[in-house]
Structure 1
Amino acid sequence: DVLLGISFPRYSARTVRAMAFAQSRGAAVVGITDQNNSPLAAYCDTLLTVPCDMLALADSLTPAFSLITALIAGAAERVPDKVAASLNLLESASESFNQRVQEPERSQWEAEYES
Protein backbone atom coordinates (compact mmCIF):
# COMPACT_ATOMS: atom_id res chain seq x y z
CA ASP A 1 0.00 0.00 0.00
CA VAL A 2 1.05 3.59 -0.66
CA LEU A 3 -0.23 6.78 0.89
CA LEU A 4 0.25 10.00 -1.04
CA GLY A 5 0.16 13.02 1.27
CA ILE A 6 -0.11 16.50 -0.23
CA SER A 7 0.13 19.65 1.84
CA PHE A 8 1.44 23.17 1.45
CA PRO A 9 1.92 26.15 3.78
CA ARG A 10 -0.60 26.32 6.48
CA TYR A 11 0.07 22.58 6.41
CA SER A 12 -2.83 20.28 7.20
CA ALA A 13 -2.52 18.54 10.58
CA ARG A 14 -4.88 15.81 9.30
CA THR A 15 -2.57 15.06 6.39
CA VAL A 16 0.45 14.82 8.69
CA ARG A 17 -1.44 12.53 11.11
CA ALA A 18 -2.61 10.30 8.24
CA MET A 19 0.96 10.03 6.98
CA ALA A 20 2.25 9.13 10.47
CA PHE A 21 -0.48 6.49 10.79
CA ALA A 22 0.29 4.98 7.38
CA GLN A 23 4.00 4.88 8.18
CA SER A 24 3.30 3.16 11.52
CA ARG A 25 1.35 0.48 9.64
CA GLY A 26 4.20 -0.17 7.22
CA ALA A 27 2.73 1.53 4.16
CA ALA A 28 5.03 3.37 1.79
CA VAL A 29 4.51 7.10 2.22
CA VAL A 30 5.07 9.65 -0.53
CA GLY A 31 4.75 13.36 0.16
CA ILE A 32 4.27 16.32 -2.14
CA THR A 33 5.04 19.65 -0.51
CA ASP A 34 6.97 22.88 -0.94
CA GLN A 35 10.24 22.28 0.92
CA ASN A 36 12.45 19.63 2.49
CA ASN A 37 11.74 20.83 6.04
CA SER A 38 7.96 20.63 5.63
CA PRO A 39 6.13 18.82 8.48
CA LEU A 40 5.39 16.03 5.98
CA ALA A 41 9.07 15.21 5.50
CA ALA A 42 9.43 13.26 8.76
CA TYR A 43 6.93 10.64 7.59
CA CYS A 44 7.96 10.23 3.94
CA ASP A 45 9.81 7.40 2.28
CA THR A 46 9.87 9.64 -0.79
CA LEU A 47 9.48 13.41 -0.62
CA LEU A 48 8.74 15.39 -3.78
CA THR A 49 9.05 19.15 -3.52
CA VAL A 50 7.59 21.75 -5.84
CA PRO A 51 7.49 25.54 -5.49
CA CYS A 52 4.34 27.08 -4.09
CA ASP A 53 4.89 30.79 -4.55
CA MET A 54 2.30 33.44 -3.93
CA LEU A 55 1.91 34.98 -7.37
CA ALA A 56 -1.31 36.84 -6.68
CA LEU A 57 -3.78 36.75 -3.80
CA ALA A 58 -3.38 32.99 -3.39
CA ASP A 59 -0.59 30.46 -3.53
CA SER A 60 -0.01 28.91 -6.94
CA LEU A 61 -0.53 25.15 -6.93
CA THR A 62 0.12 24.80 -10.66
CA PRO A 63 3.50 23.07 -10.14
CA ALA A 64 1.92 20.57 -7.73
CA PHE A 65 -0.90 19.72 -10.13
CA SER A 66 1.62 19.31 -12.94
CA LEU A 67 3.63 16.87 -10.82
CA ILE A 68 0.50 14.91 -9.87
CA THR A 69 -0.52 14.71 -13.53
CA ALA A 70 2.94 13.37 -14.41
CA LEU A 71 2.76 10.76 -11.62
CA ILE A 72 -0.65 9.57 -12.82
CA ALA A 73 0.55 9.37 -16.42
CA GLY A 74 3.63 7.43 -15.33
CA ALA A 75 1.58 4.97 -13.29
CA ALA A 76 -0.87 4.51 -16.14
CA GLU A 77 2.00 3.70 -18.48
CA ARG A 78 3.71 1.25 -16.12
CA VAL A 79 0.68 -0.68 -14.87
CA PRO A 80 -2.22 0.12 -17.21
CA ASP A 81 -4.40 -2.81 -16.14
CA LYS A 82 -4.20 -1.89 -12.45
CA VAL A 83 -4.88 1.77 -13.20
CA ALA A 84 -7.90 0.87 -15.34
CA ALA A 85 -9.27 -1.39 -12.59
CA SER A 86 -8.76 1.34 -9.98
CA LEU A 87 -10.46 3.94 -12.15
CA ASN A 88 -13.42 1.61 -12.71
CA LEU A 89 -13.68 1.03 -8.95
CA LEU A 90 -13.49 4.77 -8.31
CA GLU A 91 -16.20 5.40 -10.91
CA SER A 92 -18.48 2.81 -9.28
CA ALA A 93 -17.88 4.25 -5.82
CA SER A 94 -18.55 7.76 -7.06
CA GLU A 95 -21.84 6.67 -8.60
CA SER A 96 -22.95 4.85 -5.44
CA PHE A 97 -22.27 7.94 -3.32
CA ASN A 98 -24.11 10.17 -5.81
CA GLN A 99 -21.16 12.59 -5.90
CA ARG A 100 -21.87 14.40 -9.14
CA VAL A 101 -24.44 16.84 -10.36
CA GLN A 102 -26.34 15.16 -13.14
CA GLU A 103 -25.80 16.94 -16.41
CA PRO A 104 -28.83 17.30 -18.67
CA GLU A 105 -28.88 15.48 -21.97
CA ARG A 106 -27.21 17.51 -24.69
CA SER A 107 -30.48 17.98 -26.54
CA GLN A 108 -32.18 19.33 -23.38
CA TRP A 109 -29.36 21.80 -22.86
CA GLU A 110 -29.51 22.95 -26.45
CA ALA A 111 -33.27 23.42 -26.23
CA GLU A 112 -32.95 25.48 -23.03
CA TYR A 113 -30.11 27.52 -24.50
CA GLU A 114 -32.05 28.34 -27.65
CA SER A 115 -35.14 29.55 -25.78
Structure 2
Amino acid sequence: MTLAIICEKSEVETAALLWKALQEGLILPQNEVYKFYVGREAKDEVKGSEIVTYKFLHDRVQQAAYSLIPAEQKQYTHFRIGELLLQGLSPAEQEERIFDIVNQWNMGQAVIPTDE
Protein backbone atom coordinates (compact mmCIF):
# COMPACT_ATOMS: atom_id res chain seq x y z
CA MET A 1 0.00 0.00 0.00
CA THR A 2 2.79 2.45 0.87
CA LEU A 3 4.54 1.93 -2.44
CA ALA A 4 1.25 2.26 -4.32
CA ILE A 5 0.67 5.63 -2.61
CA ILE A 6 4.19 6.81 -3.41
CA CYS A 7 3.96 5.63 -7.03
CA GLU A 8 0.51 7.19 -7.30
CA LYS A 9 -0.75 3.92 -8.79
CA SER A 10 -3.26 1.30 -7.74
CA GLU A 11 -2.06 -1.72 -5.78
CA VAL A 12 -2.60 -3.88 -8.88
CA GLU A 13 -0.52 -1.54 -11.05
CA THR A 14 2.20 -1.39 -8.40
CA ALA A 15 2.30 -5.19 -8.10
CA ALA A 16 2.62 -5.42 -11.90
CA LEU A 17 5.54 -2.97 -11.83
CA LEU A 18 7.27 -5.07 -9.18
CA TRP A 19 6.69 -8.39 -10.93
CA LYS A 20 10.01 -8.42 -12.82
CA ALA A 21 12.00 -7.58 -9.65
CA LEU A 22 10.10 -10.33 -7.84
CA GLN A 23 10.86 -12.86 -10.59
CA GLU A 24 14.54 -11.86 -10.55
CA GLY A 25 14.67 -12.36 -6.79
CA LEU A 26 15.61 -8.74 -6.04
CA ILE A 27 12.60 -8.37 -3.76
CA LEU A 28 10.89 -11.02 -1.67
CA PRO A 29 7.20 -11.20 -0.78
CA GLN A 30 6.53 -11.20 2.96
CA ASN A 31 3.23 -13.02 2.61
CA GLU A 32 1.28 -14.95 -0.02
CA VAL A 33 -1.05 -12.04 -0.88
CA TYR A 34 1.05 -11.11 -3.93
CA LYS A 35 -0.33 -14.20 -5.68
CA PHE A 36 -3.76 -12.56 -5.85
CA TYR A 37 -2.28 -9.91 -8.15
CA VAL A 38 -0.67 -12.31 -10.63
CA GLY A 39 -2.31 -12.05 -14.04
CA ARG A 40 -4.61 -9.19 -13.09
CA GLU A 41 -4.92 -6.13 -15.24
CA ALA A 42 -4.59 -2.63 -13.84
CA LYS A 43 -8.35 -2.10 -14.02
CA ASP A 44 -9.02 -5.16 -11.85
CA GLU A 45 -9.60 -4.62 -8.18
CA VAL A 46 -8.52 -6.98 -5.48
CA LYS A 47 -10.97 -7.21 -2.62
CA GLY A 48 -9.82 -7.77 0.91
CA SER A 49 -7.95 -6.06 3.65
CA GLU A 50 -4.63 -7.86 3.31
CA ILE A 51 -1.75 -5.84 1.99
CA VAL A 52 1.08 -7.11 -0.16
CA THR A 53 4.41 -6.55 1.55
CA TYR A 54 7.87 -7.01 0.12
CA LYS A 55 11.42 -6.60 1.31
CA PHE A 56 14.66 -6.28 -0.61
CA LEU A 57 16.70 -9.45 -0.99
CA HIS A 58 19.62 -7.71 0.72
CA ASP A 59 20.50 -4.25 2.02
CA ARG A 60 22.90 -3.85 -0.89
CA VAL A 61 20.06 -4.27 -3.37
CA GLN A 62 18.18 -1.52 -1.55
CA GLN A 63 21.30 0.67 -1.56
CA ALA A 64 21.78 0.06 -5.29
CA ALA A 65 18.14 1.04 -5.95
CA TYR A 66 18.55 4.19 -3.83
CA SER A 67 21.74 5.11 -5.69
CA LEU A 68 19.71 5.33 -8.90
CA ILE A 69 18.07 8.51 -7.60
CA PRO A 70 20.25 11.43 -8.72
CA ALA A 71 21.89 13.13 -5.71
CA GLU A 72 20.30 16.48 -6.54
CA GLN A 73 16.83 14.88 -6.42
CA LYS A 74 17.12 12.82 -3.22
CA GLN A 75 15.95 15.52 -0.81
CA TYR A 76 13.00 16.44 -3.02
CA THR A 77 12.13 12.74 -3.38
CA HIS A 78 12.03 12.30 0.40
CA PHE A 79 9.92 15.44 0.83
CA ARG A 80 7.50 14.25 -1.86
CA ILE A 81 7.23 10.79 -0.27
CA GLY A 82 6.27 12.45 3.03
CA GLU A 83 3.65 14.55 1.26
CA LEU A 84 2.19 11.58 -0.64
CA LEU A 85 1.98 9.49 2.53
CA LEU A 86 0.23 12.32 4.35
CA GLN A 87 -2.30 12.69 1.52
CA GLY A 88 -2.76 8.98 0.84
CA LEU A 89 -3.25 7.65 4.36
CA SER A 90 -6.39 7.86 6.45
CA PRO A 91 -6.18 9.94 9.65
CA ALA A 92 -5.80 6.75 11.72
CA GLU A 93 -3.02 5.49 9.41
CA GLN A 94 -1.35 8.92 9.54
CA GLU A 95 -1.27 8.73 13.31
CA GLU A 96 0.16 5.22 13.18
CA ARG A 97 2.79 6.19 10.58
CA ILE A 98 3.62 9.71 11.80
CA PHE A 99 7.28 8.85 12.38
CA ASP A 100 7.61 7.52 8.81
CA ILE A 101 6.11 10.73 7.42
CA VAL A 102 8.22 13.04 9.58
CA ASN A 103 11.35 10.99 8.82
CA GLN A 104 10.81 11.57 5.09
CA TRP A 105 10.31 15.29 5.68
CA ASN A 106 13.47 15.42 7.80
CA MET A 107 15.49 13.85 4.98
CA GLY A 108 14.01 16.42 2.59
CA GLN A 109 14.04 19.42 4.88
CA ALA A 110 16.19 21.56 2.55
CA VAL A 111 13.38 21.64 -0.02
CA ILE A 112 10.44 22.19 2.34
CA PRO A 113 8.67 25.35 1.19
CA THR A 114 8.68 28.21 3.70
CA ASP A 115 6.73 31.47 3.87
CA GLU A 116 9.92 33.52 4.12
- TM-score between both structures, scaled by the size of structure 2: 0.32
Higher helix content, 1 or 2: 2
- TM-score between both structures, scaled by the size of structure 1: 0.32
Larger relative contact order (C-alpha < 8 A, sep ≥ 6)?
A: 2
